[in-house]
Amino acid sequence: MRRPFLKMNGLGNDFVVWDARSEKLALTPDVIARLGSRETGIGFDQMITVERSSLPGVDAFMRIHNMDGSQVDACGNATRCIGRLLLEESGKSAVTIQTNAGLLNAVASGVPRTISVDMGVPRLRWDQIPLAEEFADTRAIELQIGPIDDPILHTPAVVSMGNPHAIFWVKDIEAYDLAKVGPLLEHHPIFPEGANISLAQFIGENEIRVKVWERGAGLTLACGTGACAVAVAAARDNKAGRKSVIHLPGGPITIEWRESDGHVIMTGLTEVEFEGEIDLETLAWEKVAEGDLALEPAGDAA
């Protein structure tokens, strides 16, 4: 049975997107992992399933699986991508997306392919991250890796955007092999549900360079919730203002931790890479149409 899908990304953090609003889709973690593999499958960081929401006035429910098959509650870059699809499809000026981490509002920013999402309020208490033990001050918790007297990384800030994040402030981001230390920290016992791990280096006032090792996905080109977590952690520790630009390997994301209501507003690019079709019995798939450049007149694609 052949099924259409979209391949999208938010600053290189890439997704396979299914529209399951009229025809349900339930893939096993094993099939998701096979599809997510860049060797055996289509290849993606997360798989996104758009489903009907039962809530009045809500445009869709967004289900998120990491490429390892684990289901998680938040994915910022994907929220921008699904927000864009729903905005373009409905012609509305704002859409509401239901996730297991709450209701998120998406609006077009006025710049082509660039979407702003209200990611809600950050969760900052130790038991909301969650952590395995109580820490009164989550701006810097006692956690280190490497030799006791000369740790490689230590005292991270922790923030949840509906998913757990640990942020390590570093002077030179290139001095660290995140592919090596990332998995050690992701699965550290202090994080009972795992954690997304960010290295963050200040490169200017309210300008932060970030690399992320994602829970269940590994190194990615961008992490939207990670960008939110870094910006909030910097602001609450007076290392930056409430509006900062997070520079990820895939590009910049602007974050504002709004003073008025404590909501985190994330703005960044989205891209449709291609439309595809897959045989869900054999998992054989093919591209059927190129993405954005085909969707927008050449003049807008610049």
Ligand X SMILES: N[C@H](CCC[C@H](N)C(=O)O)C(=O)O
Name the minimum Å distance from CB 1 to ligand X: 29
Q: Which stretch binds ligand X (CB under 6 A): 135-143, 171-179, 220-228, 269-277?
A: 220-228
Sole binder of ligand X in the list 77, 99, 138, 206 (CB under 6 A): 77
* Site for ligand X, residues 2 to 21, rule: CB under 6 A: 13
Helix locations, the chain, DSSP H? 29-36, 76-90, 178-186, 224-236, 292-295, 298-301
Q: Least separation, in Å, of the C-beta of 265 and ligand X? A: 14
Stretch that binds ligand X, among 68-76, 84-92, 121-129, 142-150 (CB under 6 A): 68-76
Paired residues of 66 in beta bridges: 46
What is the smallest separation between the CB atom of 275 and ligand X, expressed in angstroms? 22
Of 160, 198, 225, 267, the residue at the interface with ligand X (CB under 6 A) is 225
Site for ligand X in 29-58 (CB under 6 A): 45-46
CB 51 within 8 A of CB 61: yes
Q: Which segment (35-43, 69-77, 88-96, 278-286) binds ligand X by CB under 6 A?
A: 69-77
Q: Does 216 interact with ligand X (rule: CB under 6 A)?
A: yes
Nearest distance, CB of residue 218 and ligand X, angstroms: 9
Which positions ≥6 away from 249 have C-beta within 8 Å? 12, 211, 221, 222
Among the listed residues 122, 159, 157, the one whose alpha carbon sits nearest the alpha carbon of residue 140: 157
**Peptide linkage before 130 cis (omega within 30 of 0):** yes
* Alpha-helical runs (H) found in 92-193: 178-186
Contact call for residues 50 and 19 (beta carbons, < 8 A): yes
8 A C-beta contact, residue 182 and residue 191 = no
Nearer Cβ to ligand X (75/141): 75
Q: Is 115 helix (H, G, I), strand (E, B) or coil?
A: strand
Report the 10 Å Cβ neighbour count for 24. Answer: 10
215 annotated ligand binder: yes
Active site residues per annotation: 75, 223
Q: Note whether 224 binds ligand X by CB under 6 A.
A: yes
- Residue 163 marked in a binding site: yes
Per CB under 6 A, residues contacting ligand X are 13, 45-46, 66, 72, 75-77, 163, 196, 214-217, 220, 223-225
